[in-house]
Amino acid sequence: MCGIVGYVGKDNAKNIIIDGLKRLEYRGYDSAGIALIVNGGIRTFKKEGKIRNLECELNKLHLFSNIGIGHTRWATHGEPVDTNAHPHSDCSGKISIVHNGIIENYSELRKELISKGHRFESDTDTEVIAHLIEEELKNSPSFFPAFIKAVRKLKGSYAIAAITVYEADKIFVARKDSPLIIGIGNGENFVASDIPAFLSYTNRALPLDDLEVAIIGKDSFQVFDIKGNEKEKEPFTIPWSLAQAEKAGYKHFMLKEIYEQPRAIADTISGNLPWLKGSVPLEGINPKTFNRVQIVACGTSYHAGLIGKFYIENFSHLPVEVDLASEYRYRSPVVDEKTLVIAITQSGETADTLAAVKFAKKKGAKTLAVCNVIGSSVTRESDQVLYTYAGPEISVASTKAFTTQVVTLFMFSLWLGKMRNVLKDEKVEELLHELMELPSKVEDFLNGEKERGTVKEIAESFYKAKNALYIGRHVNYPIALEGALKLKEISYIHAEGYPAGEMKHGPIALIDETMPVVVVATKGSVYEKILSNIEEVKARKGKVIAVTNPECREVKEKVEAFIEVPEVNEFLSPIINIVPLQILAYHIADFLGYDVDQPRNLAKSVTVK
C-alpha cells in the first residue's frame, strides 16, 4: 500500500519524482522520501506526514540529479516516523532502496545480517533488502547479480526499486505480488506503482510480472526472470489522458468521479458490446463447461458482486456464491474445473482478490476478471478479462468503478443467459436498450442535483449524526451496504447497511429520534414491502431519508427527506440509486471538514493480505 516512483533521464529527477509521488499519494500517505544520486553520492530526504512536507524540505535546497527513487508510505512495519520512511540504505550508504509489500522473512534475515556486522537504523522490513544486497555484493562481480541474489532470498510480496553509486545511471527493480510498471519515454525512463505517476511524460508502459527484475537506464530497459535470463516484453500504449486523471475544477476527485459516471457507464457499455453482440469471442470462457459461479472481491467491489449474483442467477439460472476475497480461500470452498470464478477489482492489485484467483486456478476453475486497470496483476492472472471503462479512479472512496462494475456484470449475465439459452435474443435486446438509456438518466439526476442541491441540503441537516442505518431490499440491499460503506469510510460516522426485512430481527432496537435511516425505496417487486419497512422506522421515531422515484407519492408523504431519481428497470436501479448516496456521503464528509479523497487509515490499493 505504498507508492514507488523512479526516474532516470535528462531532467531534474527531484521534481519529476515529487510530482509522481503526489499522484500516488492515494496509495499511502503517512510519510514520504526520496533518494537522488548527486555528484557520485546518494542524498536521501525523508519526512513524516504528507508529501508536501517533504516537498517543502526539498524546496529549501538547490539540488540537481537526473536519477532517483521516491516513496510514499502506508506503514506496515514500524511507526510512520522519519526514520522508518523510505528510501532505506545499506551500511555504506552506497545503495538505496524503496519497497512496497511485506517481507515475511525479514526478521530471520535481519538477525543473520546483524550477526554479520550490519547496522540497522529503522524498524522496517524494507531495510533488510539494502543490507542483503550489500552482503551479496561481497561475492558478486557487479551490482545486478548481487541484486538478483538478494531478491531471490526474499519471501513475501515486493515491488522494489534500487539505485547505487556503483552504477549511477541505472535503476534496478523487482516485483512479486505488488505492482510495478516501467514508463518508457524519450531519452528518459520511469518506474512506478501506478501509471498516473508518469502519464504526463509518457503513455508507453510495460508492467512487470511476478518474479521479474529489470534494469532501467535513460535510453534502455532490460527485463529478466528471477534466474537472470533476459526476456522479450512489448510495451503497450496507455489509453487514458492525463486530464482524465486530474480534478478538472472539482473540489475533490471523489466529486469529479461521481460526476463522470454517465460517461464512464456509457464507455463501459460500448467497450463491452463487441463480445456481448458476438463480434469478439470471449475465448477464455466456455459457458457450457461450468455449473456454478463464485464471485470474489473486497469492499465496494464485493457489493458489486452481490448485485452480480442477482443478475447471473436471474438471467442464466446458474447458482452463484459471493465471497469476500479475504475469506474465500480459508473456508474450503467447493471449487473445481466446472466452476467459473469472477474476481471483481477496480485496481487489479488487491492482494486478497489476487490470492483468491490464484487459489481458484490451482483448483482448476476458470477465472474471469472484471477490472478497471489494464495490465494489472489480477488481469494477468485470469483466463479472461472484462474491463470497466471508468478511467483512472483516484479518490480512495470508489464510485465510478462501482457503477461500471455493475454494468459489466449486467452485460456478462445477459451474455451468459443468451449462451445458455435462458434468454431469447429479443429479451437481451430489450434489456440492453434499457441499459443504454441509463447514462442519460444518471446525467439528468446529476444535473438536477447541481441545480437544486437537494442531497447537499440533506447532508447539511444530518452531518452531525453519530450513527446511520441504511436499508434496502432485493437488488437494492447491496446498495444499502455500499451507501453505508461510503459514509463510514470518508465521514467516520458509524453506519450499517441492512436488508430492510431483517431490521425486525435486531437493528430495529437501534432506532429512535436521533437515528437517520436511509431507505432505498424505488419502484420494483418489493416496493410494497419497503413501504411497510418505512412505517416500522416511523413508528420508532426514526428519521427517514428516502431515495425514491418522482411517482412514489406514498414514500414522499411519509418521510423527513427524499431524493428523487428517475425510474429505471428494477435490475438496473442499483446503478442509479447509489449515485445520491455517494453524493450524500461526500457532502457529509466535506461539511465535517475531512480529507475526502484520502480518508484516514485507508489506501486506494490494498496490496497487503
Catalytic residues: 2, 604
230/219 Cα distance (integer angstroms): 17
Using an 8 Å Cβ cutoff, are 45 and 1 in contact? no
| Interacting residues with ligand M6R between 284 and 303 (CB under 6 A) | 298-301
Angle of helix 127-137 relative to helix 106-115, nearest 10 degrees? 50
**Residue number, 89 or 300, with CB nearest to ligand M6R:** 300
Instruction: Tell whether residue 491 is a contact of ligand M6R (CB under 6 A).
Output: no
In 3D space, the residue among 464, 452, 474 whose CA is nearest the CA of residue 583 turns out to be 452
Instruction: Tell whether residue 481 is a contact of ligand M6R (CB under 6 A).
Output: no
Least Cβ distance, residue 410 to ligand M6R (angstroms): 17
152/288 Cα distance (integer angstroms): 42
**Residue number, 103 or 606, with CB nearest to ligand M6R:** 606
88/100 Cα distance (integer angstroms): 12
Least Cβ distance, residue 346 to ligand M6R (angstroms): 4
**Burial (Cβ within 10 Å: 0-12, 13-18, ≥19) of residue 50:** middle
**Residue number, 316 or 582, with CB nearest to ligand M6R:** 582
**Residue number, 100 or 347, with CB nearest to ligand M6R:** 347
539/562 Cα distance (integer angstroms): 18
Using an 8 Å Cβ cutoff, are 435 and 269 in contact? yes
Instruction: Tell whether residue 606 is a contact of ligand M6R (CB under 6 A).
Output: yes
Least Cβ distance, residue 177 to ligand M6R (angstroms): 14
Return the CA Rg of the chain: 25
Number of residues that bind ligand M6R (CB under 6 A): 15
**Residue number, 343 or 435, with CB nearest to ligand M6R:** 343
Least Cβ distance, residue 495 to ligand M6R (angstroms): 13
Least Cβ distance, residue 266 to ligand M6R (angstroms): 21
Stretch of residues binding ligand M6R (CB under 6 A), selected from 67-75, 340-348, 440-448, 523-531: 340-348
Query: What is the x/- site pattern for ligand M6R, positions 350-369, by CB under 6 A?
Result: x--x----------------
Least Cβ distance, residue 396 to ligand M6R (angstroms): 5
**Residue number, 377 or 549, with CB nearest to ligand M6R:** 377
Instruction: Tell whether residue 577 is a contact of ligand M6R (CB under 6 A).
Output: no
Instruction: Tell whether residue 345 is a contact of ligand M6R (CB under 6 A).
Output: yes
In 3D space, the residue among 377, 352, 17, 460 whose CA is nearest the CA of residue 181 turns out to be 377
| Interacting residues with ligand M6R between 384 and 413 (CB under 6 A) | 396-398
Instruction: Tell whether residue 597 is a contact of ligand M6R (CB under 6 A).
Output: no
Q: Are strands 181-184 and 221-225 parallel, antiparallel or unpaired?
A: unpaired
525/401 Cα distance (integer angstroms): 27
CA dihedral 478, 479, 482, 487 (to 10 degrees): -140
Helix or strand run (H / E) with residue 73: strand 67-73
Q: Are strands 543-548 and 516-521 parallel, antiparallel or unpaired?
A: parallel
**Residue number, 5 or 606, with CB nearest to ligand M6R:** 606
Residue number of the CB closest to ligand M6R reads: 299
Please, which residues bridge with residue 33 across strands?
46, 71
Residue from the set 84, 157, 346, 577 that interacts with ligand M6R by CB under 6 A: 346
112/358 Cα distance (integer angstroms): 32
Residues of the shown chain interacting with ligand M6R in the complex, contacts defined by CB under 6 A = 298-301, 345-347, 350, 353, 396-398, 489, 602, 606
